Amino acid sequence: MTAQTLPDNPNFCFVPAYDVETDVQQIRIVIEGLAGHVPTALIALMRMAELWGYRRHNSNPCKNTRRYKSQAKERFLTAEEMARLNAVLTRDEFWCPNIVAIVRLLMLTGCRFGEIASLEWDWIKDKRIFLPDSKSGPRTVWLSSAARAVIDAIPRYSADCPYLFPARPPTRPIDNIASQWNRIRDEAGLPGLRLHDLRHSWASTAAMNGVDIVTIAKLLGHALVETTERYVHLSDRSVADAADRVSNRIHAALAGREEGGGRELRAVRPAQAGHETQPKGAIRHVRI
């Protein structure tokens, strides 16, 4: 189309190509974000329609709908990135202490943002947080000494305010720190980092330090281990170290040695049919 063919919409004719490409990119991001949720929502909607008698039993037309396969967002912080983020948090402690405390608790507990932002003083007992309601139902969050120290440093707003992080007015908890978080992450040199990525980082750090997947699932409050598997991302170095450990142990076994001990192992041939004991010379050394 040209400007001459669109006299009633002159603005459309003068939109720069760059703006069009940007708009398309933004639309694509939104569609990809929604596409993964729409089939699940429709399946649940039709299932409830069956339960409430609006549809015949087993007539869900979305039951076998294929899910949209979006690209997984694998993001977790390295030790160096954590240090950069903490440097900015330390600098901002005086100016926005509540925001800094929320971010640090997210990093130290692996909790969801809503679980930390809505915390009440009565839910905290010693080194535990008893959440009466979370995404997976009531659960206990275990506090490390570092996490407990963050909570102990938070001044209470007033005796009749139950929230650790009250909003204004203090009749409800904080529910959004997007603008402050975007500034903090950008100044730490971590553009695009989401608050939820701190939860992924916690899970990944646990896995790379030998915590088993079942325990991580319990600590994160996941009902299914499969959900936890999406949260755990191992660094290349961690995977390489694990491969080395397994390979070295197998290499030692093939060489007839105990790994690390240097003691030579001897392999024994299986007993031949009709013989209760091994014949002379049955013991041999394994060489590779």
Question: In the 8-state DSSP scheme, what is residue 125?
Answer: E
Angle, alpha carbons 117-220-104 (nearest 5°)? 40
Q: With a cut of 60, say whether residue 139 has pLDDT above it.
A: yes
Domain extents in the chain = 79-229, 237-284
Q: With a cut of 70, say whether residue 211 has pLDDT above it.
A: yes
Q: With a cut of 50, say whether residue 288 has pLDDT above it.
A: no
What integer pLDDT is reported at residue 226 of this predicted model?
Answer: 73
What are the φ and ψ backbone dihedral angles of 149, each rounded to 5 degrees? -65, -35
Q: Extract the runs of DSSP E, i.e. beta strands, from the chain.
A: 124-125, 128-131, 139-142, 267-268, 283-284
Q: With a cut of 70, say whether residue 205 has pLDDT above it.
A: yes
pLDDT tens per residue, range 27-82: 555 555 565 666 777 778 888 888 888 888 888 887 776 665 555 566 789 899 99
* CATH placement of domain 79-229: 1.10.443.10
The mean pLDDT of 229-257, rounded to a whole number, is 74
Q: With a cut of 60, say whether residue 237 has pLDDT above it.
A: yes
| pLDDT bucket at 209, cuts 50 / 70 / 90 | confident
* Residue in 117, 111, 114 with CA at minimum distance from that of residue 174: 117
What are the φ and ψ backbone dihedral angles of 268, each rounded to 5 degrees? -110, 130
Report if pTM > 0.85: no
